[in-house]
């Protein structure tokens, strides 16, 4: 579990073979730890000084924005059980890829609009949370195909958000609470039993 508050940034060193990232600072990682990389939960399999290595499945690369060598990525360690909770509940499981369509600067702040596939519109509400490339952000404007988030100067400075521009691809994870509520409401509305609904859901997931 993560919170969407970025701790550090890293530089992608290699995407062939094992995925390799050079960390900006000592994150005190151990083999087996979970690390959110641009919001995608990956497992540390090797460490060499500041270089961290991951085995990334084809499914993960196919469903997320594939970083290229030299690109910057957002990093967040999994939340400690005794830690303070910031941001919102973030699982590290990416739902889809979005596209930045507009970047508006207001003084040192930013307002960024992201388009997404329409089938995910029920998982968003204005003033609700959304994770964009690992960053917990608040929706300030919403349509059925796009949302706008306000980004504070510190986030623009310390994460990849400062480099987003129209056309930039971003990983999106929608609030897990919204997913549960939407699925439960759908089951009740269709008058299906819980067993019937679960069987249909599992079948649709393959």
- What residue ranges define each of the domains in the chain, with the CATH number in brackets? 8-77 (2.40.30.20), 96-174 (2.40.30.20)
Helix (H, G, I), strand (E, B) or coil at 197: helix
According to the model, what pLDDT value does residue 149 have? 97
Please write down the HEC assignment for all residues of 130-192: EEECCEEEEEEEECCCEEEEEECHHHHHHCHHHHCCCCCEEEEEECHHHHHHHHHHHHHHCCC
Helix or strand (DSSP H, E) at 19: strand 19-23
HSE of 49 in the Cβ direction (CA atoms, 13 Å)? 2
Taking the CA atoms of 61, 65, 71 and 72 in sequence, report the sign of the dihedral they define. negative
Per-residue pLDDT of 152-176, as tens digits, reads 999 999 999 999 999 999 999 998 8
According to the model, what pLDDT value does residue 79 have? 82
pLDDT at position 194 over 70: no
Average pLDDT score over the chain: 89
Per-residue pLDDT of 28-46, as tens digits, reads 899 999 999 999 999 999 9
Question: Which of residues 140 and 176 earns the better pLDDT score?
Answer: 140
Instruction: Please give the average per-residue pLDDT across 85-94, as a whole number.
Output: 84
- Cβ(99)–Cβ(112) below 8 Å: no
How would DSSP label each residue in 55-118? ---HHHHHHS----TT-EEEEEEPPPTTSPP-S--B-S---EEEEEEEEEEETTEEEEEEE--G
User: If you search the block for the tokens 């890829």, which residue do you land on?
Assistant: 97
């Amino acid at each position: 579990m993560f919170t969407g508050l970025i701790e550090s940034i890293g530089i992608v060193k290699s995407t062939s073979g094992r995925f390799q990232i050079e960390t900006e600072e000592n994150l005190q990682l151990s083999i087996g730890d979970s690390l959110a990389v641009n919001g995608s939960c990956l497992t540390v399999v090797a460490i060499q000084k500041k270089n961290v290595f991951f085995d990334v499945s084809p499914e993960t690369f196919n469903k997320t924005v594939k970083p290229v060598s030299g690109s910057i990525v957002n990093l967040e360690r999994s939340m400690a059980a005794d830690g303070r909770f910031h941001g919102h509940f973030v699982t590290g499981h990416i739902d889809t890829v979005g596209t930045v369509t507009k970047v508006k600067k207001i003084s040192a702040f930013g307002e960024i609009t992201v388009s997404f596939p329409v089938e995910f519109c029920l998982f968003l509400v204005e003033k609700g949370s959304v994770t964009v490339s690992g960053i917990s952000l608040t929706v300030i404007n919403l349509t059925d195909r796009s949302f706008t988030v306000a980004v504070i100067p510190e986030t623009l400075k310390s994460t990849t958000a400062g480099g987003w521009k129209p056309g930039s691809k971003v990983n999106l994870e929608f609030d897990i609470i919204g997913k549960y509520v939407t699925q439960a409401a759908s089951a009740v509305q269709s008058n299906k039993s819980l067993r019937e609904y679960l069987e249909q859901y599992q079948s649709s997931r393959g």
